[in-house]
Chain A
Amino acid sequence: MGAAHGHRLHHHGHSAVHRAPAHLKILVLVGFVLLVVATPREWYAVFAAYAAVVVGTVLVARVPLGWVLRRMVVEVPFLVFAALVPFVAEGPRTEVLGLTVSEPGLVAAWGLAVKGTIGVMASLTLAATTEPTDVLVGLRRLRMPPLLVEIMSFMLRYLDVVTADLGRTLTAMRSRGCEPRSPRHWPVLARSLGALFIRSYERGERVHLAMLSRGYTGTLPTTTGGHEHR
C-alpha cells in the first residue's frame, strides 16, 4: 500500500472526461443522481438507459470497467439490506426460486438496488477521473461553505496517514497468525477498527493543538501570497 501518488479511487488519464472542469462534473453528477432517484422504479427501461450513460462515460474516460466494478464492493452492505426487504415487507406474496416473498417488497428492493448501484457507479466515475484536490477546487468554485471544504481537505490529507495506520495494524495482526480477511476473525478486525477510530480521534486533537499553537482562531487564513498556488 504505497500511498505515494494519487488516491486509490483515482485512475490517471487524459481523456475528455478527465480534462472537463471539476465543478462541471460535480454539477452533472449531482443532477444525474437526483434524476435517477426521482425516476419511478417501475420505469425499468429508463434505468437501462441510465446504466448505459454511466458505462458509456466510463468507457469514454478509458477507465477499465473491471477497475470500477471492483471498487463497487463498498455497496455490498447496502445491497444486503435491499435483499432483505422482500422477506420482511407486507403485501401480496409471490414465488421466486421457491421462496415466498412480498411483491411490493421485491419492487422496493429493485428500486433501492438499481438506484444505489447507478449512483455509486456514477460517483466512482467522478472519483476516477478527477484528482481529489480538483474536486475540492470545484466545490469551492460552486460556493460550497468554506468550513465543509476545509473539513474535506483535512480528510484528504489524513486519509493516507489513517490508511497507513490501518495497514500497520493489519500487518501486526497477520504477524500474530490472525487473517483479517477471514470472517472468523472479523470480531478482532472490528475491535482494531475501533482502536483505529480512537487513535484517529486523538490525532485530531493533537492536530488541533498544533493549529492553536500557531495562532489558529477558527478560520483558515488565505495562505496564498500575492499569487495563486495550487
Chain B
Amino acid sequence: MSAPVLDVRGLAYAYPDGHQALFGVDLHVHRGERVALLGPNGAGKTTLVLHLNGILTAGAGSVAVSGLPVEKKHIQEVRRRVGIVFQDPDDQLFMGTVRQDVAFGPANLGVRGAELDRRVMAALEQVGMAEHVDRPPHHLSFGQRRRVAVATVLAMEPEVLVLDEPSSNLDPTSRRELADILRALDVTVLMVTHDLPYALELCPRAVVLSGGTVVADGSTYDVLTDDALMRAHRLELPFGFDPRTLGPGVGTGQGTAPRRTPDTGGSVASPGTHTNPGDLT
C-alpha cells in the first residue's frame, strides 16, 4: 500500500516563548480521504496545520507528505503537495486581480505561459468563479473570496487540501455551495472546523485534537455521538442537531454508508484503519 498522504508521527512543538502547543501527535491521512480535524479553541489545530507544509518545524517527531519528509531541502515540493486555505480570505488574496492571485502559487513553482493560464482557469472553474477572473478580489463578496482562496491553492494541484474553518462567516447558501464544491473535488481533504454538522456532512472520518494530542480518531458519526468524549473536550453540537436522527449513513461523502471496518489495512477510499474513539476515552 502506498505511503499515506499525511504521515505525522510523535509531533511535539513548543513556541519560542515556551508555550507548548503539541505533545506527540500521530495522524495518518490516506489518499482520497476527507478528514475533519476537530477540537476546542487552543487545542493546537492551527499549530498542527502549520507543520504540514513546513511553516513551523517539528520540535520532536516527524511529518511526511506522500513519503517525502518535511525538511528544508524539499520545502517547495512539500508546499506544492499540501495546499492550505487560510481562514480569512483577505489574508490569502493579496494581488490586484483574481487571475494574478490564483497564478501566484503555480508561478512560484515555475509554471509559465499557456500552462499557467490553463491552471488558473481550471482552478477557477472548479470553484465556479471563472467569470470573475479579471476582477480585483476586494470587489467580491465574502463567499466568493473564500472560493477564490480555495482556487489559489487548487491551482498548485496539491495532493492534499487543508482548510482552516472553511465554513466560518459564510451565509447558509454560500456554506452549502462550498460543500458542493469540496465534495466534487478529487483531492484528499483535511478540514479544521468547529462546524460539526459540516464535518459530518463532508468528512467520513474525524480526528479530535485536544490539549495538544489526538484524543479520538474514528468515523465522524461515532465521534459526534460519543457524548462523554464530546463533553470532555469542549465539543458541542448546535442546538437541535442530533446525528442520531440522521442515521449513521450520512456524512460519508459517497451517499452510501460504508461503516468503519476495524483495521483491515486501509483500502484506498475507506475511512477505516483507525482506533475507535470509544477505546480512547
Contact = CB atoms under 8 A, between A and B. Distances in A.
Interface of A: 3-5, 133, 153-154, 156-158, 160-161, 203, 206-207, 209-217, 220-226, 229
Contacts of B152: 214
Contacts of B108: 214-217, 221
Given A210-B91, A210-B92, A215-B156, A225 B120 contact: yes
A206 B88 contact: yes
B103 A223 contact: yes
Q: Top 8 closest A-B pairs, CB basis? A: A221-B107, A215-B108, A214-B105, A225-B117, A223-B103, A206-B91, A223-B100, A225-B116
Of listed B80, B90, B99, B113, residue having the most chain A CB within 10 A: B90
A225 B114 contact: yes
Contacts of B114: 225-226
A212 B94 contact: no
Contacts of B104: 211, 214, 216, 220-221, 223
B95 A226 contact: no
A211 B156 contact: no
A108 to B, nearest CB: 43
Contacts of B156: 214-215
Given A3-B138, A209-B55, A223 B91 contact: no
A162 to B, nearest CB: 10
Interface size class of B (residues with CB under 8 A): 35 or more
Chain B facing A: main interface SS? helix
Contact of B96 (A157, A211, A215, A226): A157
A218 to B, nearest CB: 10
Contacts of B53: 213
A154 to B, nearest CB: 6
B57 to A, nearest CB: 13
A189 B109 CA distance: 44
Nearest to A227: B117
B244 interface: no
Interface string B77-109: 001101110101011101111011001110111
B153 interface: yes
B138 A161 contact: yes
A215 B76 contact: yes
20 contacts: A158-B94, A160-B138, A206-B86, A206-B91, A209-B50, A210-B91, A211-B104, A213-B79, A213-B82, A213-B86, A214-B79, A214-B104, A215-B79, A215-B105, A215-B156, A222-B112, A224-B103, A225-B113, A225-B120, A229-B134
